[in-house]
Chains A and B, each alone.
Chain A
Amino acid sequence: MKTWDLIKTANRNLFRNKLRTILTVLAIFVGSYTLTMTNGVGDGMRDYVESQIKNIEGDRVAMVRKKIETPNGPSSGAAVEYKDESEEADEAELDPNTVLLTQPQIDAVVRDIPGIVGTTPRYSVRGEHISVEGSKKYKLELGMLSDGLVAKTEAGKSISGPNQIVIPIGLARALDEKIENLVGKTATIGYKVPDGSIKTVPLTITGVMTKGFMTNNNSFVSADVAKQIYAAQSVQEGPAKFIGFTIQMDSSDPTKIAEIKKQLDAKGFEAETVADTQQRTYDAIGIFKTGMNLFAMVALLAASFGIINTLVIAVLERTKEIGLQKALGMGRGKIFTIFSLESVLIGFWGAVLGAGAAIVTGLAANQVFVKFYARSFEGFSLFAFKPLSIAAIMLLVCAIAFVAGVMPAIRASRLNPIESLRYE
């Protein structure tokens, strides 16, 4: 029997008992619908988060900080011996009592690790206000963009030198409705110094940043500007201490980065690249998505018993017909194929209808969602349907249906022709 004939026969057999087939397809439909929806929510979240966390780029940069020591560290509750800070101590030696680091300590850490070409300490700075060429003053959230990191922009470009600033889109819109006009203008930013007065510094706006989780609503300046502000704001005595630093590496090769991380780890430091941060977020969403999909899989599992039931009954109903087909020379394999095809077709129709309905309702839900929440979640679609995901879901549903059909199909293929023809 030719393949096309087998498919036609299977399809015809299915629609001989329309009601039963439709009910079984409906069960698969529910499972497939649920799976498409849960997967769509997961993809929607991932898309949104992706757009949000990709607004800072830099593949040769890693954030480094001292590991918080466990099991003997403070969090374990065990007593830790206090070591007096000795005057004669080597200034590059690490102080085990704190995670804070001085510049000489940072230099000492990276000195003999090949592949690290530079470091930037994490200067924490506080901004006060910002204005552009005599405009109203707006409150300023200020951050530092380490060398090697690039901010994604809606207009203009990221900072590339001293005395520059990139500003967030919300602030930019307040300053000028046409954000492009701001690029190249001079912004005056103010920051508070310990005596309570406010100092100002003029900076050139190089760009307007794309919105994202990782940057909140911060404006960013380069390390030089941050260092200058930090020095003015610092109230600490003695050498400046930082909670971490950024390293610039000579390569974006993952194996080289991994080697650098390993060496830092051996010295008691953990390093995280932008990709690591993104991956951690993706992993979290992946777990969420998998959890949701598991619920849908339960529905599919239940539906697969419906397929088994339908086919077992079909085998009984068609025992004589199977007997005749075998008598007329149809082999076991072909009988098995016909029944398997029937179950795969049930799965296929359920998958197509389920995914179709899910896409329609999902897209409609997106419309409603955009209407109500567009302002707080710019660029967010509740459901995202990707052709590859949909294809994978359909394939999975068909595979589940096939597995469900194996037992009845084997039963059919093993029927004895004479006994089957006599079956009442």
Chain B
Amino acid sequence: MLEAKNLSKTYTSDGVDYEALKDVDLSVRRGDCIAIVGKSGSGKSTLMHLLACLDAPTYGSVLIDGRDTSAFTERTKNALRNEKFGFVFQQFFLNGRDTVFENVVLPMRIRGASNSEIAKETTAALDAVGLADKVNKKAKDLSGGEKQRVCIARALVGRPEVIFADEPTGNLDSSTGAAVEKMLFDLNRDQGITLVVVTHDSDLADRCDRVIEMKDGRIVADKQREAAV
């Protein structure tokens, strides 16, 4: 469903060009569970941003369900991210002063959903991450693991087809990290949501069905885990 063709991205800062991504080809199938791994500066985050239409490639193109996103207007890309994608970030990006509910509801508000729909989907999303009882708590009063679960609920609330997770366990200790990982894998397995995880945590990567290794802006390995084949 997601396809990258000859994807290149060059950043220019202070007049110096820096090629973050060089001619990358990649195909993501519906229901895939993919880890993009590599050292920092390898281009893994850039690849994710381009796949998620958060950034535009310098050359090449990203196709979604066969349609070239470079032809999309800003508005279409916004709608696409809002409706088809969910995002989980390492630093959570929660609004601490707002309640859990208000944080989770954000994608639905942006979409302009009706109040009844908002209530229904938010309850479902919070149930899925086991935080239904914390709905009215302020986000800042939660533990790290709970915060990341709120983020997953936020990614989930709009019923996305793909969840992009950027170092989802990077700020968590190993046991809470494991719980968050399990939650993401369950969503992939049970609901068929495509999962794209960017990480340098090899343990997390090893639990994905497919591992794409990046180095200096190129894909150096694309391994399908035997058990998943």
Chain A residues near B (Cβ < 8 Å): 1-2, 5, 9, 12, 16, 320-321, 323-332, 334, 417-418, 421
Considering the complex, which residues of chain B in the window 25-71 have a beta carbon less than 8 Å from any beta carbon of chain A? 49, 52, 54-55
Chain B residues near A (Cβ < 8 Å): 49, 52, 54-55, 74-75, 78-83, 87, 89, 91, 93, 95, 97-98, 106-107, 109-112
State how many angstroms separate the Cβ of B33 from the closest Cβ of chain A.
22
Q: Contact partner of A421 among B81, B83, B93, CB < 8 A? A: B93
Q: Judging by beta carbons under 8 Å apart, are B95 and A321 in contact?
A: yes
> Which B residues are CB-close (under 8 A) to A334?
110
Q: Contact partner of B93 among A2, A321, A332, CB < 8 A? A: A321
> Which B residues are CB-close (under 8 A) to A16?
97
What residue in chain A is nearest B46 (Cβ atoms)? A418
Q: Contact partner of B75 among A321, A324, A331, A421, CB < 8 A? A: A331
Q: Judging by beta carbons under 8 Å apart, are A328 and B106 in contact?
A: yes
Q: Judging by beta carbons under 8 Å apart, are B78 and A330 in contact?
A: yes
Give 27 A-B contacts (CB < 8 Å), ordered by A residue: A1-B109, A1-B110, A1-B111, A9-B109, A16-B97, A320-B91, A320-B93, A321-B93, A321-B95, A324-B106, A325-B106, A327-B52, A327-B81, A327-B87, A328-B82, A329-B79, A329-B80, A329-B82, A329-B110, A329-B111, A330-B78, A330-B82, A330-B110, A331-B74, A331-B75, A421-B91, A421-B93
State how many angstroms separate the Cβ of A196 from the closest Cβ of chain B.
94
> Which B residues are CB-close (under 8 A) to A329?
78-83, 107, 110-111
Q: Judging by beta carbons under 8 Å apart, are B81 and A2 in contact?
A: no
Q: A16 vs B102: C-alpha distance in the bound complex, in angstroms?
A: 14
> Which A residues are CB-close (under 8 A) to B109?
1-2, 5, 9
Q: Judging by beta carbons under 8 Å apart, are B110 and A328 in contact?
A: yes
> Which A residues are CB-close (under 8 A) to B80?
329
Looking at B74, B97, B106, which has the most chain A CB atoms within 10 Å of its CB? B106
What residue in chain A is nearest B107 (Cβ atoms)? A328
> Which A residues are CB-close (under 8 A) to B107?
328-329
Q: A12 vs B106: C-alpha distance in the bound complex, in angstroms?
A: 14
> Which A residues are CB-close (under 8 A) to B83?
329
> Which B residues are CB-close (under 8 A) to A417?
54
Q: A328 vs B113: C-alpha distance in the bound complex, in angstroms?
A: 14
Q: Judging by beta carbons under 8 Å apart, are A1 and B112 in contact?
A: yes
> Which A residues are CB-close (under 8 A) to B97?
16
What residue in chain B is nearest A6 (Cβ atoms)? B109
> Which A residues are CB-close (under 8 A) to B52?
327
> Which B residues are CB-close (under 8 A) to A331?
74-75, 78
What residue in chain B is nearest A323 (Cβ atoms)? B93
State how many angstroms separate the Cβ of B212 from the closest Cβ of chain A.
20
Q: A327 vs B82: C-alpha distance in the bound complex, in angstroms?
A: 8
> Which A residues are CB-close (under 8 A) to B111?
1, 329
Q: A9 vs B105: C-alpha distance in the bound complex, in angstroms?
A: 12
Q: A16 vs B97: C-alpha distance in the bound complex, in angstroms?
A: 8
State how many angstroms separate the Cβ of B77 from the closest Cβ of chain A.
8
Q: Judging by beta carbons under 8 Å apart, are A328 and B54 in contact?
A: no
* Inter-chain pairs besides A12-B98, A325-B106, 6 sampled, C-beta below 8 Å: A2-B112, A326-B78, A328-B87, A329-B81, A418-B55, A421-B91
Please list the 3 inter-chain residue pairs (A to B) with the smallest Cβ-Cβ separation, ordered nearest first: A329-B82, A329-B78, A329-B81
State how many angstroms separate the Cβ of A2 from the closest Cβ of chain B.
5
> Which A residues are CB-close (under 8 A) to B79?
329
What residue in chain A is nearest B87 (Cβ atoms)? A327
Q: A16 vs B78: C-alpha distance in the bound complex, in angstroms?
A: 27
> Which B residues are CB-close (under 8 A) to A330?
78, 82, 110
> Which B residues are CB-close (under 8 A) to A5?
109, 112
Q: A12 vs B102: C-alpha distance in the bound complex, in angstroms?
A: 11
What residue in chain A is nearest B166 (Cβ atoms)? A421
State how many angstroms separate the Cβ of A207 from the closest Cβ of chain B.
68
State how many angstroms separate the Cβ of B6 from the closest Cβ of chain A.
21
Q: A418 vs B54: C-alpha distance in the bound complex, in angstroms?
A: 7
Q: A1-B112, A329-B83, A334-B110 are in contact. Are A421 and B89 (CB under 8 A)?
A: yes
Q: Contact partner of B54 among A12, A320, A327, CB < 8 A? A: A327
> Which B residues are CB-close (under 8 A) to A324?
89, 93, 106
State how many angstroms separate the Cβ of B9 from the closest Cβ of chain A.
11
What residue in chain B is nearest A332 (Cβ atoms)? B74
State how many angstroms separate the Cβ of B198 from the closest Cβ of chain A.
13
Q: A165 vs B91: C-alpha distance in the bound complex, in angstroms?
A: 91
Q: A2 vs B108: C-alpha distance in the bound complex, in angstroms?
A: 10
> Which A residues are CB-close (under 8 A) to B55?
418
> Which B residues are CB-close (under 8 A) to A328?
81-82, 87, 106-107, 110
What residue in chain B is nearest A9 (Cβ atoms)? B109
State how many angstroms separate the Cβ of A367 from the closest Cβ of chain B.
45
Q: A1 vs B111: C-alpha distance in the bound complex, in angstroms?
A: 6
> Which A residues are CB-close (under 8 A) to B95?
321
Q: A321 vs B83: C-alpha distance in the bound complex, in angstroms?
A: 19
Q: Judging by beta carbons under 8 Å apart, are B49 and A418 in contact?
A: yes
